[in-house]
Amino acid sequence: MKMKYVLLLLMAWLLLTSCAGNRYTQTPSQNSSFRIKSLVLHFTSADYAQSVKYLVDKGSVSSHYLIPESDDPTYPHNELKIYQLVDENERAWHAGISYWQGRTALNDTSIGIEIVNDPECTVRNDVLIKPEHGEDRFCVFPDYDPKQIQLVIELAKDILDRHPDISPTAVIGHSDIAPSRKIDPGPRFPWYELYQEGIGAWYDFETLDKYWQLFSDNPTSIALLQRALMTYGYGLVETGIADTQTMNVVSAFQMHFLPSHVSGSADARTMAAVFALIEKYAPEKLTELVTRYESEVQTADNPATERYGQIDRTFTADDDTSETELSFVAYDKTGDFRIKASAATNADIYINEQRLNITLPITEQFRSYSLARRTIEGLNTVRVDNISNTDAELHLQVAYPTLSNAQVARQLPLDVSSFACRNSDFKGVLLVTHKGRIINHTPLGCNKTADVSFALGQQTSALATHLALMEMVHRGQIDLEAPLNSYLPEYSGQGRDAVRVQDVVAHRTGYLPTLSEYLAEEQMTLSDLLAEKRLLTELVLTQIPVRKVTQNNNPSKSEVNAIILGLLIERVSGQSLRDYISDKIYAQLGINKIGSDGADLEQMTYGHIGGQASVESIAKIAQLLLNMGGYGYYELIDRKSLSKFLKISSVANERGAGWQLNERHTSECLSRNDFGSFASSRAFGTFSENGLVLVDPELDLTITLLTNSRDEYLSDRYIPLLNQIYKALLQRQIHSKMN
């Protein structure tokens, strides 16, 4: 009876399951795919025992698999094993906030493998960085255990067999899918070894070389690199500037595909690797990128017209009379101009209504001529007339005044006994120019020669970073009135959105005087931070608190502002600060000594660390500013923009913060009058504990004083010297007029 009852129950169960199975009609769709799209590799940043605690115990993270390493004292077995922690059909919590190839929240569509590997990392104060379960930007990465990697290869092959929708480009690291947060599996992970076993993506070396040569000869823009990385799969926004998100993504890419070249910097090698990968794995997406690159190269070969000299004008036969006469400034019997002509067989050129004896036709290459026989002191005129052909053009450029190489026969007599050699350490040099001529060049202190270089100290901000910013404002690349975060997007929140570029120039940000005041004593110095540019960027742009900016805030000098301006210039230009200043400014002035000795130029421009310069080099910069923005055929900035910049830069109650104005209505606000008693109201300068640069357009005068002093009371000696220079010069002018 009992057996009969069991059989009846079994028959009923079979009937029910049979009905259920026939309940749905199967019509398989072709519009489907496998759920798993990515394989993500991690390192645990801990030993085996700690890794198990993180990944297994309730309340933390997880992963589908864990692979231990040999010689781990916390591993309890002799033989390495692959441990499955979560079924592949279930969701493990290993990816976090993530993105790859258009997908977010990759926990839903990926399998994660955690590999025991523990970098030796130093944890910094939270104000500097906030590590996630032991990860940190300052790590020494150990090699992976070869036995462990063989298990990774074995497991990865099995996973790829079970999940055919995981493409080669979807075998990725945690740093690839979360580059702003993660650095695992790190630069030591053997991605190329896995590729050789048929796991993951890698470029063909011949293709890499092809693109490397191409991009080395004709560099690409940051924007194109951003677009290429986005095309490959990374999550970032195309901003056209080398911002923090880009540095993070580039570092992640380099750790994966260029492990011996992890710099975070966009360069030809990195761009070549991205293009080589896209050509191999997504050739249909390559055409758009190549077309864009060719367009950039063409634009670079045909740059927008720049102005050279204080006059840069093309004349034609159809010009109105009012358009053919222009004015320029020169010193008496000095000056240069150059011309080139297209299809012109005849033209008359007049300087101060004196016709020049120039024979046409002139080649289409510029030919230079001296104006020394024609110019007068002050305002001069140039006129072009009688251009022969209606289709002819004559291009004329007039240079800004430059310093004369030869000193005048009679130097300005000065008493420099207050700078005498009282101790063997003190040295200095004074250089005074008037109307483009050197009228005093005197060694001070224990110097035997005036040909010596000095550290610039705090003046480097005005003589380097500010010049670069002026140049970029003039080119329309930076707007002083724009919010700073329009160029540095991460500079936002907690009052930062109100900060404009000009607020940083004017030190109206409320930062403490030095960066070291934000760092604990055991933390790194500014020099260390410069070696870790990503960390420096994160610190000054996102972590250091900013005080709410208002027009009534009293400015307070801070080297943090100088650092921010340096980062701004790098972002917008796509070059290092050192290269931009050297190539775009100093090289144009024939200056090559600044930063060549002592501190690196990049360090000297960040935070007033100091760099070496000769007094002659600084005098050229002073003459450029005396000319209100130009020197020779180089134009740094126009007169109107320079005046605006100087006004913004002038900090009423601080010395050494940039350029100061000597306007009479602000002198009562100055904590000290650095200009002495006789400087005109148009004078401006930069002053520090080791010297000064003073420019006085009213008298066509520049004064450069450099010393090796670090004496905050140096002004007690140099102010009487300034007064002496002015009085001696005025007496010379009075005597000249009387005779």
- Report how far apart, in Å, the C-alpha atoms of 62 and of each of 236, 531, 615 are: 26, 35, 64
The β-bridge relationship of strands 110-115 and 38-43 is: parallel
Exposure pattern of 629-642 as b/e (b: 16+ CB <10 Å)?
bbbbbbbbbbeebb
Sheet order of strands, 367-370 included: 311-316, 393-398, 336-342, 367-370
CB 406 within 8 A of CB 417: no
**Separation between Cα atoms, residue 392 and residue 298, nearest integer Å:** 27
206 is catalytic: no
Which residues, including other chains, have CB under 8 Å from residue 435's CB and lie 6 or more apart?
Answer: 331, 332, 377, 700
Burial 575-606 (b: 16+ CB within 10 A, else e): bbbbebbbebbbebbebeebbeebbebbbbbb
Give the whole-angstrom CA distance, residue 417 versus residue 203: 70
Q: What is the DSSP letter of 462?
A: I
Catalytic residue among 69, 114, 471, 538: 114
Within 13 Å, how many C-alpha atoms sit on residue 175's CB side? 25
How many angstroms separate the CA atoms of 642 and 474, rounded? Answer: 9
Whether residue 482 contacts residue 500, with contact meaning beta carbons closer than 8 Å, is answered with yes
Residues sharing a CB contact under 8 Å with residue 175, sequence separation 6 or more, in sequence order: 182, 183, 184, 185, 186, 251, 252, 255, 256
The span from the CA of 677 to the CA of 147, in Å, is: 80
Question: Do 231 and 282 touch, CB atoms closer than 8 A?
Answer: yes
Q: Which residues pair with 431 in a beta bridge?
A: 441, 704
In angstroms, how far apart are the furthest CA atoms of the chain?
146
The one-character DSSP state at 500 is: B
Residues 6 or more apart whose CB falls under 8 angstroms from that of 520 comprise 125, 127
Within 340-460, where are the H helices? 460
Q: Are 724 and 414 within 8 A, CB to CB?
A: yes
User: How far is it, in rounded angstroms, from Cα 710 to Cα 695?
Assistant: 22
Is the separation of the CB atoms in 416 and 684 below 8 Å?
no
Peptide bond into 185 cis (omega under 30): yes
Strand 453-455 to strand 139-140: parallel, antiparallel, or no bridges (unpaired)? unpaired
Paired strand residues for 104: 99
Residues identified as active-site: 114
